[in-house]
Amino acid sequence: MPLDADIAAAYRQRWRIEISGAVQGVGFRPTVYRHAAKNRVTGWVANTSAGVVIEAEGRAKDLHAFRHAIVTDPPPHAVIHQVTEHAIAPTGDTAFQVRDSQSTTPGDLLILPDLATCNDCLAEVFDPANRRHLYPFTNCTNCGPRYSIIMGLPYDRPATTMAEFEMCPACRAEYANPRDRRFHAQPNACPDCGPQMALSTDDGTVIADREAAVDTAIEQLRAGAILAVKGLGGFHLFVDATNPDAIARLRQRKRRPDKPLALMVPDLAWAKLLTHVDAVAEQSLTSAAAPIVLLPRKPNTDIADNVAPANPELGMMLPYTPLHHILLRGLGRPVIATSGNLSDEPIAIDNQDARARLADIADLFLLHNRPIVRPVEDSVVRILAGRPQILRRGRGYAPFPLPTGTAGQPVLATGPHLKNTTGILRGNQFFMSPHIGDLDTSAAEDLLRRTTNDLSDYTQTEPALVACDPHPDYASTRHAENLGLPTIQVQHHLAHVIACATEHNLNPPYLGIAWDGTGLGTDGTIWGGEFILVDGEVWHRVAHLHPFPLPGGDVAAREPRRAAFGLLYAAFGEAGLNVEALAPVTAFTAAERQTLLRAVEKGINAPLTSSMGRLFDGIAALLDIRQRATFEGQAAMELEWLARSGNAGAPYPFTITDDMIDWRPLLTAVLAAQQDGAAKADIAATFHATLADMMVAVARRTGVPDIILTGGCFQNRLLSELAIARLDDAGFKPHWHQQVPPNDGGIALGQAVWARLQRGKAPCA
Ligand code: ZN
Ligand code: ZN
Ligand code: FE
């Protein structure tokens, strides 16, 4: 017998296995424990700030099987980036243990985004016999808050906002049991020991608490009240989506007359009742990210018309916390779930702050006492050409990194001014912040500053270089300059192109079609209708729209009639502005026209632009679809909706000479068609088709197969679909955004990648 034991011992090996990736807060260690038991492996597993480390002892055959099982059968939300192992001396362990976290070597740890409630937890919440029946903070290692509650690393309860809640014996037992779904679920809680709800007025008077708070909130919603609801990454404003009067009140109080509002529906069946949900859309809707998905709406539903006026799509999301499930199931109908903020400010996350800022909007406040560390807004996704495309990257996706190909020095990118996101490029991963939004308010600027510090902390990275936009008036540019680090400015449209190329891991040369509202060009004019060829480490603006003046500059973004004014002036001179038959002309008084004319002639506050976004605005104004917009992109959206119902005729003419695309023949043709009484919808459809022709024409002249579609204009579904189809037909390979938005929300990625490439070329710094 002793001899046998000696032989057995001689065949034993011990491996130290290190795993990096998204391996904490996902039930990784219990899974390792399970695989160890199955494969007769002893030793231990622990979290480190670099990921997970295992010491495993057993026969070589079993160790191989154990390692294989971990890699091929990890827990649902884990993402393994790297596994390394080496042999060490056996110690003769007789059991397998799950150890507490080991601190702290800077490393490769990834923080998970917040995850929607899993089906196991959902079943418990609606099981009257379960101790968590109707408990709004139920979660487990497969679901619940992560990024929004993390204060530091490693990811352990004391480093989250759950630190202040001491677990009861029942919760503690789950937390300590490696075989339990809640083993080391850091936000683990129950009605006895965890956070609680309260319903309050704006002055802080509590009307009801715990379950009664939620019941009363449901009654109030049913009666048409506007509720501020504290959720996962911040506050929402909730209102009954079938009550047009209540919605009108919300729109008026939020000063948001037309912009589409998103819906939260009780369940998937409701989503299918209201919209067309295909398999890809269903996958996005029901994913752990649970984003808002833009879906084609069905006619004749109970949804009030003023939810998304005239919009052929509805933004739809499923409940993603137990609280949302309980509220929506109780109400039994969809609600508007819009960001809890004043027009352009970041969303509120703090109870007191929300009561102060939203006092004039919300009738009541449904609050809880689990603090939110940082705002994380709902993500927005749509399905384009059969694939999900992220239009706003927030909850469920951020701060999960995007792969960027090659490694290099760490770079911070401060992003654009509108729809800001920021991010850190570390190694070959870009850690993009959640959507921060427009930087027009000091609150938003503050959030940008806090977010860059935050990213630097949790990636344990000191950036050596800062990338930003060249526009001197962008708050993000100012922030970059104030950091006191070497800074590289990356042209706005180039950043758009590089962001998309990085997503698709493209090698130059490629042609980027960057069409958007505005971005500062290298010649001091405002660009936005750009064709950019990236060739090796240099880029060329190979084609662009013929420039036209934009009287009023930034004001023109909200007044399509000004874009039309500039187009008419560029095409016909002063004569074009005296045609009283044209809607945008008569949208100004004679005196206003004189003032604008002088501004344009003298070039005072009338910058030249090659913006495609403004060309869209101008055409929308000429067709009298809209002269003034209440939100960015409204006129172009309405032009697209109209075009979808029209029939495209023969394309309108345009010419390309050298790098200049002359749209003036197109404008003349649009005006002629209008005069001939052509239907607006048909003109709009022909305009879209003509632009697809324009892309193909420039692609042919350039002769590069890979074509990138980027910029805010490609939020236009019709334009994107036409571009993809026409480029494909013509033998090109079109590429479009999926992981980061085509709008300015994606450009931080391009800034960081390009800046690092440029810096690499410099001899020293
Ligand atoms: Zn769960
Ligand atoms: Zn408990
Ligand atoms: Fe842009």
Q: What is the DSSP string of 631-672?
A: STTHHHHHHHHHHHTS---SPPP-EEETTEEE-HHHHHHHHH
User: Separation of 45 CA from ligand 1 center, angstroms?
Assistant: 23
User: Separation of 141 CA from ligand 2 center, angstroms?
Assistant: 15
User: Separation of 118 CA from ligand 1 center, angstroms?
Assistant: 4
- pLDDT-derived band at 765 (thresholds 50, 70, 90) equals very low
User: Separation of 369 CA from ligand 2 center, angstroms?
Assistant: 15
CATH for 399-489 (3.30.460.80, 3.30.420.360, 3.30.1370.100, 3.40.190.10): 3.30.420.360
Phi and psi based region of residue 703 (left: phi greater than 0; alpha: psi -120 to 50; beta: remaining): left
User: Separation of 337 CA from ligand 1 center, angstroms?
Assistant: 23
Q: Where are the domains of the chain?
A: 5-110, 197-380, 399-489, 544-744
In the chain, count of helices (H) and strands (E)?
23, 31
Phi and psi based region of residue 633 (left: phi greater than 0; alpha: psi -120 to 50; beta: remaining): left
What's the predicted TM-score (pTM) here?
0.92
Angle value at C-alpha 665, between 661 and 667, nearest 5 degrees: 100
User: Separation of 97 CA from ligand 2 center, angstroms?
Assistant: 24
User: Separation of 171 CA from ligand 2 center, angstroms?
Assistant: 4
Ligand at minimal distance from the CA of 710 is 3
Q: Higher pLDDT residue, 173 or 78?
A: 173
Give the number of C-alpha atoms closer than 13 A to the C-alpha of residue 515, restricted to the C-beta side: 24
Gap between the Cα atoms of 112 and 121, Å rounded: 18
What pLDDT digit, counting tens, does each position of 71-96 carry? 999 988 888 988 999 999 999 898 99
Res 105 pLDDT > 50: no
Q: What is the mean pLDDT of residues 510-536?
A: 97
User: Separation of 165 CA from ligand 2 center, angstroms?
Assistant: 9
Q: Mind giving me the DSSP string for 270-291?
A: HHHHHB---HHHHHHHTSTT--
User: Separation of 217 CA from ligand 1 center, angstroms?
Assistant: 25
Gap between the Cα atoms of 728 and 610, Å rounded: 26
Strands lying side by side in the sheet with 263-264 = 206-209, 197-200, 364-368, 227-230, 235-240, 335-339, 263-264, 313-317, 292-296, 380-384, 387-392
What pLDDT digit, counting tens, does each position of 258-308 carry? 999 999 999 999 999 999 999 999 999 999 999 999 999 999 999 999 999
Give the Cβ contact number of residue 116 at 10 Å: 24
What pLDDT digit, counting tens, does each position of 714-764 carry? 999 999 999 999 999 999 999 999 999 999 999 999 999 999 999 876 443
- pLDDT-derived band at 560 (thresholds 50, 70, 90) equals very high
Res 623 pLDDT > 80: yes
Q: Report whether 378 contacts 715 (CB < 8 A).
A: no
- pLDDT-derived band at 184 (thresholds 50, 70, 90) equals confident
Q: Give pLDDT, residue 106.
A: 46
In eight-state DSSP terms, residue 678 is -
Q: Give pLDDT, residue 8.
A: 64
Q: Give pLDDT, residue 764.
A: 39
- pLDDT-derived band at 581 (thresholds 50, 70, 90) equals confident
Q: Give pLDDT, residue 342.
A: 83
Q: What is the mean pLDDT of residues 454-469?
A: 93
What pLDDT digit, counting tens, does each position of 270-281 carry? 999 999 999 999
Helix (H, G, I), strand (E, B) or coil at 470: coil
Q: Give pLDDT, residue 51.
A: 86
Q: What is the mean pLDDT of the chain?
A: 94
The pair of three-digit structure tokens given for residue 147, joined into one six-digit string: 């990024």
Q: Give pLDDT, residue 521.
A: 98
Gap between the Cα atoms of 298 and 276, Å rounded: 7
Ligand at minimal distance from the CA of 170 is 2
Res 465 pLDDT > 60: yes
Q: Higher pLDDT residue, 458 or 564?
A: 564
User: Separation of 137 CA from ligand 1 center, angstroms?
Assistant: 10
Ligand at minimal distance from the CA of 142 is 1
Give the number of C-alpha atoms closer than 13 A to the C-alpha of residue 14, restricted to the C-beta side: 15
C-alpha distances in Å from residue 268, one per residue of 77, 330, 416: 22, 16, 36
C-alpha distances in Å from residue 691, one per residue of 4, 117, 130, 393: 80, 44, 59, 28
What pLDDT digit, counting tens, does each position of 128-169 carry? 999 999 999 999 999 999 999 999 877 789 999 999 999 999
C-alpha distances in Å from residue 20, one per residue of 50, 111, 115, 246, 401: 6, 11, 20, 49, 13
Beta bridge partners of 372: none
User: Separation of 144 CA from ligand 1 center, angstroms?
Assistant: 7
Q: Give pLDDT, residue 763.
A: 43
Q: Report whether 352 contacts 144 (CB < 8 A).
A: no
> CATH homologous superfamily of domain 544-744?
ATPase, nucleotide binding domain (3.30.420.40)
Q: What is the mean pLDDT of residues 226-245?
A: 97
Ligand at minimal distance from the CA of 25 is 1
User: Separation of 446 CA from ligand 1 center, angstroms?
Assistant: 34
The single-letter code of the amino acid at 596 is L
Ligand at minimal distance from the CA of 77 is 1
User: Separation of 219 CA from ligand 1 center, angstroms?
Assistant: 28
The pair of three-digit structure tokens given for residue 526, joined into one six-digit string: 């405002």
User: Separation of 142 CA from ligand 1 center, angstroms?
Assistant: 5
The pair of three-digit structure tokens given for residue 515, joined into one six-digit string: 């069409």
User: Separation of 173 CA from ligand 2 center, angstroms?
Assistant: 9
Q: Give pLDDT, residue 407.
A: 83
CATH number, domain 197-380: 3.90.870.40
Res 5 pLDDT > 80: no
Q: Report whether 485 contacts 413 (CB < 8 A).
A: no
Instruction: Pick the closest to residue 377 from 113, 752, 139 (CA basis).
Output: 113
CATH topology of 5-110 equal to that of 399-489?
no
User: Separation of 131 CA from ligand 2 center, angstroms?
Assistant: 9
Angle value at C-alpha 444, between 226 and 555, nearest 5 degrees: 90
User: Separation of 32 CA from ligand 2 center, angstroms?
Assistant: 26
The single-letter code of the amino acid at 584 is P
The single-letter code of the amino acid at 5 is A
- pLDDT-derived band at 654 (thresholds 50, 70, 90) equals very high
Ligand at minimal distance from the CA of 557 is 3
Tokens 């709004």 sit on residue: 136
Q: Could you give the residue ranges of the DSSP H alpha helices within 422-547? A: 442-458, 475-482, 492-503
The single-letter code of the amino acid at 671 is L
User: Separation of 462 CA from ligand 3 center, angstroms?
Assistant: 28
Output helix, strand, coil percentages for the chain, rounded to the nearest 5.
35, 20, 40
What pLDDT digit, counting tens, does each position of 663-690 carry? 999 999 999 999 999 999 999 999 999 9
Q: Which residues make up the environment of ion ligand 3, defined by Cβ < 5 Å?
A: 516, 519, 744
Q: Give pLDDT, residue 287.
A: 96
Q: What is the mean pLDDT of residues 432-444?
A: 96
User: Separation of 414 CA from ligand 3 center, angstroms?
Assistant: 14
User: Separation of 375 CA from ligand 3 center, angstroms?
Assistant: 24
User: Separation of 172 CA from ligand 2 center, angstroms?
Assistant: 7
Q: What is the mean pLDDT of residues 542-570?
A: 95
| CATH class of the domain defined by 5-110 | alpha beta
User: Separation of 216 CA from ligand 3 center, angstroms?
Assistant: 44
User: Separation of 214 CA from ligand 2 center, angstroms?
Assistant: 20
Q: What is the mean pLDDT of residues 327-353?
A: 94
C-alpha distances in Å from residue 172, one per residue of 107, 176, 247: 29, 6, 44
Q: Give pLDDT, residue 156.
A: 84
Ligand at minimal distance from the CA of 714 is 3
User: Separation of 113 CA from ligand 3 center, angstroms?
Assistant: 26
Q: Give pLDDT, residue 81.
A: 87
User: Separation of 472 CA from ligand 3 center, angstroms?
Assistant: 15
Q: Give pLDDT, residue 98.
A: 86
